[in-house]
Amino acid sequence: MDINLMIEIMPLLVKAAWVTIDISVRALFFGFFIASALVALRSSRTPPVRWLARSYISVVRGTPYFVQLLLVFYGGPAVGLRLDPFTCGVVVGAFNIGAYMSEAIRGAIISVDSGQNEASRSLGFGRFATLQHIVLPQAAGLMIRSVGVLAIILVKNSSLVSIISVVELTYQAQRLIGSTYKPLEVFSLSALMYIVIIYAVMGIVELLYRRATRYTYL
Residue 129 has pLDDT above 90, yes or no: no
Domains of the chain: 3-212 (1.10.3720.10)
Please, what is the average pLDDT of the chain? 87
Residue 206's nearest CA partner among 162, 150, 144, 160 is 144
For position 144, what pLDDT does the model report?
Answer: 87
Average pLDDT estimate for 138-146: 80
pLDDT of residue 23 exceeding 70, the answer is yes
The pLDDT of residue 106: 86
CB-based contacts of 42: which residues, under 8 Å, 6+ apart?
A: 50, 53, 54, 102, 106
pLDDT of residue 108: 79
Give the residue, 109 or 133, on which the prediction is more confident: 109
Does the structure show a pLDDT above 50 at 218? no
**Spatial distance between the Cα atoms of 218 and 214, rounded to a whole number of angstroms:** 9
Mean pLDDT across 45-58: 92
Which segment of 40-49, 77-86, 119-128, 158-167 scores lowest on mean pLDDT?
119-128
User: Higher-confidence residue: 137 or 171?
Assistant: 171
Q: Are 194 and 170 in contact (CB under 8 A)?
A: no
Q: How far apart are CA 28 and CA 210, in angstroms?
A: 21
pTM (2 decimals)? 0.87
